[in-house]
């Protein structure tokens, strides 16, 4: 029996992307289907990093193709192609940075920076090129969390090279000051310093730049959300009512300036006793989930209140690199994939497609 393309496509429609719940045929992710007798080959192009899932996906696709009578050999190439997506209107894009994701909270102390660093490391572990910008001028924490104690180098005296660890590029005001030196700056000075860190860093072909935003919704945060070309924002909260109150303000701030909300992360959702295994919702239960439903945004997942997360981050080896195959790292990776999928669903950035128009006087 001759193998037809239609029979193969019908069979391959049965393989559903676990991250989008859509098949690869209807989304046109499956390409270059070739049939030569009993030999079949095709490519699948993902719009987000999913290195840990590639082997299982290839196995499922091969099994689906072999279910068609007459198919003997199947060759599948799976690749990731991350593109730039649309940002707020009128905001200047960054060269060599495809997508910028703000990780924000209306309130301090909810684990925003810990979530941001593990999100960045999880995206890198899934195969993306990632950077972190520590936007907290007054309380920079990423140098410690990323285990970096150095100063950026500058070849031209105008721009800086990002520092790097665990495969992630990092820039922070913390690299330029003494650890115990307080930044006694008013808002405009802090905002200007941050704009320089963002735009005068030589980011190297970054797929996702994670911006660890300062807590709150004041002038600095508002100015950042208007100036930085953001693909979207992730809101971090704990389940307790007082944190949710401020998280709602952060969410509304981004909405007002035209930045899409990629979803809500509920941190410190549950504590499991290391001695007896008893689970207790210290800060309340599912407040973040209710908030996400209230505002019609995605609930990206819940993370536990766990001693190891704090210890690993304080030591400069966050959970995703300390225990890459552990249960908590798996939670961070799941959140990271959901964020990357939400970014991939955004409209493409077409600014690079338009020609530059110059007007010159005739002679």
Cβ atoms of 8 and 65 closer than 8 Å: yes
**How many whole angstroms separate alpha carbon 261 and alpha carbon 248?**
11
Binding residues for ATP: 106-113
pLDDT score, position 239: 84
**Angle between helix 5-12 and helix 54-66 axes, rounded to 10 deg:** 130
Report in angstroms the alpha-carbon separations of 135 from 97, 107, 112, 171, 347: 16, 15, 12, 9, 26
Residue owning tokens 């100015």: 223
**How many whole angstroms separate alpha carbon 229 and alpha carbon 257?**
11
pLDDT score, position 175: 87
**How many whole angstroms separate alpha carbon 183 and alpha carbon 192?**
13
DSSP state, residue 228: S
Cβ atoms of 126 and 336 closer than 8 Å: yes
**How many whole angstroms separate alpha carbon 36 and alpha carbon 153?**
55
pLDDT score, position 361: 56
Cβ atoms of 105 and 234 closer than 8 Å: no
The count of other CB atoms within 10 Å of the CB of residue 347 is 10
> What does the pLDDT profile of the chain (363 residues) look like in tens digits?
677 889 999 999 999 999 999 999 999 999 999 999 889 999 999 999 999 999 999 999 999 999 999 989 999 999 999 999 988 888 888 889 999 999 998 777 788 899 999 999 999 999 999 999 998 877 788 989 999 999 999 888 889 999 999 999 999 988 887 776 666 666 677 778 888 888 999 999 999 999 998 887 777 788 888 888 999 999 998 888 778 888 888 898 888 888 999 999 998 887 777 777 777 776 767 778 888 998 899 999 988 888 889 889 999 999 999 999 999 999 999 999 999 999 999 888 766 554 444 555 554
**Angle between helix 219-227 and helix 241-256 axes, rounded to 10 deg:** 40
Residue owning tokens 């530059």: 356
Go through the domains of the chain in sequence order and give each one's CATH number.
Answer: 5-80 (3.30.300.130), 97-344 (3.40.50.300)
Cβ atoms of 72 and 61 closer than 8 Å: no
Binding residues: 106-113
Q: Is 76 helix (H, G, I), strand (E, B) or coil?
A: strand
The count of other CB atoms within 10 Å of the CB of residue 84 is 21
pLDDT score, position 158: 86
The angle subtended at Cα 254 by Cα 259 and Cα 193, nearest 5°, is: 90
Cβ atoms of 66 and 204 closer than 8 Å: no
Contacts of 208 by beta carbon, 8 Å cutoff, 6+ apart: 82, 98, 99, 100, 101, 120, 123, 128, 129, 130, 131, 340, 343
**How many whole angstroms separate alpha carbon 60 and alpha carbon 75?**
12
pLDDT score, position 332: 94
pLDDT score, position 8: 92
The answer to whether the Cα torsion of 309, 311, 313, 314 is positive or negative is: positive
């Amino acid at each position: 029996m001759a193998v037809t393309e239609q029979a193969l496509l019908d069979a391959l429609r049965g393989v559903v992307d676990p991250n989008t719940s859509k098949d690869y045929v209807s989304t046109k992710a499956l390409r270059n289907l070739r049939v030569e007798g009993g030999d079949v080959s095709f490519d699948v192009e993902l719009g987000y990093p999913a290195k840990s899932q590639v082997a299982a996906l290839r196995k499922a696709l091969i099994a689906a193709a072999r279910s068609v009578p007459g198919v003997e050999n199947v060759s599948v190439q799976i690749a990731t192609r991350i593109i730039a997506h649309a940002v707020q209107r009128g905001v200047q894009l960054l060269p060599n940075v495809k997508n910028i994701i703000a990780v924000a909270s209306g309130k301090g102390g909810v684990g925003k920076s810990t979530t941001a660093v593990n999100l960045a490391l999880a995206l890198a572990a899934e195969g993306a090129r990632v950077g972190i910008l520590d936007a907290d001028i007054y309380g920079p924490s990423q140098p410690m969390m990323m285990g970096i104690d150095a100063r950026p180098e500058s070849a031209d005296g105008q721009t800086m090279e990002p520092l790097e660890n665990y495969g992630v590029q990092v820039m922070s005001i913390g690299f330029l000051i003494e650890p115990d030196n307080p930044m006694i700056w008013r808002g405009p000075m802090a905002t200007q310093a941050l704009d320089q860190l963002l735009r005068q860093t030589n980011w190297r072909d970054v797929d996702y730049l994670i911006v660890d935003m300062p807590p709150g919704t004041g002038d600095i945060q508002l100015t950042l959300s208007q100036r930085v070309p953001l693909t979207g924002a992730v809101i971090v909260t704990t389940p307790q009512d007082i944190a949710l109150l401020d998280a709602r303000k952060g969410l509304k701030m981004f909405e007002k300036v035209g930045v899409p909300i990629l979803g809500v992360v509920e941190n410190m959702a549950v504590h499991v006793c290391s001695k007896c295994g008893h689970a207790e919702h210290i800060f309340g239960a599912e407040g973040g989930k209710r908030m996400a439903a209230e505002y019609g945004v995605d609930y990206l997942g819940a993370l536990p209140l766990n001693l190891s997360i704090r210890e690993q981050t304080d030591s400069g080896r966050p959970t995703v690199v300390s225990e890459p195959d552990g249960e908590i790292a798996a939670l961070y990776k799941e959140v990271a994939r959901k964020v990357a999928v939400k970014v991939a669903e955004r409209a493409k950035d077409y600014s690079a497609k338009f020609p530059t128009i110059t007007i010159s006087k005739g002679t």
